[in-house]
Structure 1
């Protein structure tokens, strides 16, 4: 099944937290509410000093193009994921279940902040890219390559299976001085409608 869509309300303050609804495609849904990720650009800070990455006139960091997790034999290109018209975060379409996505409202992997990658566990077409994500543990190597061919290695610091009704939005999307990475997919038992009730979150930090 797919990882969560996150519905959020627009806010005038760049760091304000609003409300979101966790909802999943391909039959994986939840109607629980939780705070949204901060409404800020993934590529720059509005207060970045002149000449720093993300400021006017500075070269923007390259977007991520591929993620690899050698220990579970995952190698996937990364599609950009934005917001749907209804305010939910996009997930890869079911027919591209073996492709993960980068949420463009999060940091660029390798830059300061929390970068978020989203992938399906299963779809109606079968096994998907993050199917074996639950097999990884602390110390696992995750490699993200950007569009310029540069790679950043991340080390897993922990994993967490959480109810979609208690998604730790601030912990996942909140501001951090680390060069952090989060991977999200579905997890857990199924409800009466056949939808997974939990999300699996992997936390990692760049070396």
Structure 2
């Protein structure tokens, strides 16, 4: 469903995603990086989907030891506002232009270093990596969701159709609302995923929203690409 992976032929664990082939991830509390692996979701059949059902992707290499977070990417678009909010878990995401209105679930790492997926039986559920920046907090907050599941279309089916200037509204646990403005929507090959551009540490409050995209490869049972929305915090208010 979501995210980049390597070409390792060994099968991955069902119910996890792959985020990048070599992602150095800044941990919120310790200020250290870690490698997240985010694989797409599994299904037992090979029937033709809306685009194609998400399936178990190849396993990623073993995660590397924690490392210092990377320097901000030169490719990242700086926030024109410089706004940032205190840390607070997200509760709900709304993207009016593509009719998204869904609750959040926190995502954690498995013992193997994989980011556990949102539950497969809820098509209208979005995950966020709870040990990273929360949406609105300074840094790059990672949000991910299924484009489809084995039962049909899912929450981010139309994510690829977002346009620059579209808004992403996230209500948080502290009753604040963070509104993000989309800077760009890009599609990357999973085989050549630009980890630094997507996951680099940032000094502004930024958002990355990720799902699968592109053609579906029935041989490996996975999408070939990832759709990534780049957005910055544009405004904030009380709910």
Cα distance in 1 between the residues matched to 2:39 and 2:151 = 19
Q: Counterpart in 1 of 2:112?
A: 86
Cα distance in 2 between the residues matched to 1:75 and 1:190 = 26
Contact 1:39 1:105 in 2 (8 A): no
Structure 2 length-normalised TM? 0.69
Cα displacement string for residues 7-40 of structure 1 (whole angstroms, at most 9, x for unaligned residues) = 87999x944565x65522221414566x98x768
Q: Which runs of 5+ in 2 are unaligned?
A: 4-16, 43-54, 70-85, 235-239
Contact 1:2 1:120 in 2 (8 A): yes
State the SS of the aligned residue for 1:159: strand
Q: Does 1:199 align with 2:215?
A: no
Structure 1 length-normalised TM? 0.78
Cα distance in 2 between the residues matched to 1:141 and 1:9 = 28
The size of the alignment, in residue pairs, is 186
Q: Does 1:5 align with 2:5?
A: no
Q: Which runs of 5+ in 1 are unaligned?
A: 42-59
Instruction: Tell me how large the CA RMSD over aligned residues is.
Output: 3.0
Cα distance in 1 between the residues matched to 2:37 and 2:87 = 30
State the SS of the aligned residue for 2:169: strand
Q: Does 1:134 align with 2:147?
A: no
Contact 1:113 1:177 in 2 (8 A): yes
Going from structure 1 to structure 2, the CA distance change for 1:170 and 1:105 (only over 3 Å counts) comes to: farther
